[in-house]
């Protein structure tokens, strides 16, 4: 279903990004993934077809790291789909107490680095490449104590809207909704992870949007939970 697609997934060393790498490759795509932890990236692609799964360990917060990703992306270009799944939570704290250093760091990774990586990737993207931003419910409606995480995702939403108006290919925002990952456990420590969807549960919308000629309009915003249990192949054809 994705055999004609070359996909870059950021944040592939854990959680949602890791699951997307595995599902994209298992559906036939060639996938390059990046995150800081090399050993965790290698775990992600363990058992996958080595001709289809590639890693680029790098810190997306640094120019050097983004250049490493672009250099590796050049080897598999043109890239048909980019999924910006890397992100950091930062502290849960009221704005009155939010630490200045974290303010800058969280915005830098969640928003600025997405933009700067996109700029580096532009020459390597297929003419109608799909760009998918991984947003958050608190980026669509702010919530107390989510601080710069919420604000950075709201800025990401707006960045995606601006890009959708400029870029010839489709641009989407996907809100995973609370999903059982390390980040969610850090954000909501009292929650039983067994009571919320897994990364595999929320993957169908990403598969649908990664296909060639997705039916959704550029600029559309999705809630991944709306697609839980759907067959991405069937969804794509409705
Ligand atoms: N889980 C949820 O409930 C939920 C809900 C809404 C939105 N989201 C969003 O979904 C995306 C994935 O989150 P997740 O829940 O899967 O969290 P996760 O398991 O913590 O994954 C975050 C990923 O981002 C990477 N990353 C963080 N900082 C990076 C940096 N400076 N450079 C490169 N990679 C970096 C991490 O890899 P390294 O540590 O190896 O660098 C990791 O692969 C995030 O954008 C998050 O905001 C999650």
Q: What is the pLDDT of residues 99-151, one digit of tens each?
A: 999 999 999 999 999 999 999 999 999 999 999 999 999 999 999 999 999 99
pLDDT of residue 237: 46
Nearest to 189 by CA among 197, 199, 178: 178
Nearest Cα residue to atom 20 of ligand 1: 183
From ligand 1's centre to the CA of 85, what distance in Å? Answer: 6
Residue extents of the structural domains in the chain: 6-237
Q: Give the active site residues.
A: 149
**Dihedral of the alpha carbons of 216, 235, 25, 69, in degrees to the nearest 10:** 20
Question: Residue 51 gets which letter from DSSP?
Answer: T
**Cβ 160 vs Cβ 139: under 8 Å:** no
Mutate to test the pocket of ligand 1, among 12, 16, 34, 175 (most ligand atoms within 8 A of CB): 16
Q: How many CA atoms lie within 13 A of 84 on its CB side?
A: 31
pLDDT in tens, 36-93: 999 999 999 999 999 999 999 999 999 999 999 999 999 999 999 999 999 999 999 9
Is 83 near ligand 1, meaning CB less than 6 Å away? no
Confirm or reject: Cβ of 181 under 6 Å from ligand 1.
yes
* Cβ contact 21:33 at 8 Å: yes
CATH number listed for the domain at residues 6-237? 3.40.50.720
User: Based on the number of CB atoms within 10 Å of its own CB, is 5 exposed (0-12), middle (13-18) or buried (19 or more)?
Assistant: buried
């Amino acid at each position: 279903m994705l055999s004609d697609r070359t996909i870059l997934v950021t944040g592939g060393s854990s959680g949602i990004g890791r699951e997307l790498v595995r599902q994209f490759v298992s559906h036939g795509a060639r996938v390059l993934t990046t995150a800081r932890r090399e050993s965790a990236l290698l775990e992600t692609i363990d058992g996958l077809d080595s001709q289809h799964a590639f890693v680029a360990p790098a810190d997306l917060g640094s120019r050097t790291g983004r250049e490493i990703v672009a250099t590796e992306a050049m080897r598999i270009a043109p890239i048909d789909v980019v999924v910006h799944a890397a992100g950091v939570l930062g502290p849960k704290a009221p704005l009155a107490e939010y630490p200045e250093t974290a303010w800058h760091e969280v915005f830098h990774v969640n928003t600025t680095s997405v933009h700067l990586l996109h700029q580096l990737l532009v020459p390597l993207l297929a003419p109608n490449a799909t760009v998918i931003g991984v947003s958050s419910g608190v980026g669509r409606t702010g919530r107390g104590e989510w601080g710069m995480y919420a604000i950075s995702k709201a800025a990401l939403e707006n960045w995606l809207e601006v890009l959708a108006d400029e870029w010839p290919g489709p641009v989407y925002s996907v809100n995973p909704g609370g999903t059982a990952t390390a980040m969610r456990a850090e954000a909501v420590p009292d929650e039983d992870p067994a009571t919320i969807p897994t990364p595999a549960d929320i993957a169908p919308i990403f598969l649908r949007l990664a296909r060639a000629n997705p039916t959704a309009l550029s600029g559309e915003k999705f809630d991944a939970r709306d697609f839980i249990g759907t067959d991405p192949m069937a969804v794509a054809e409705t």
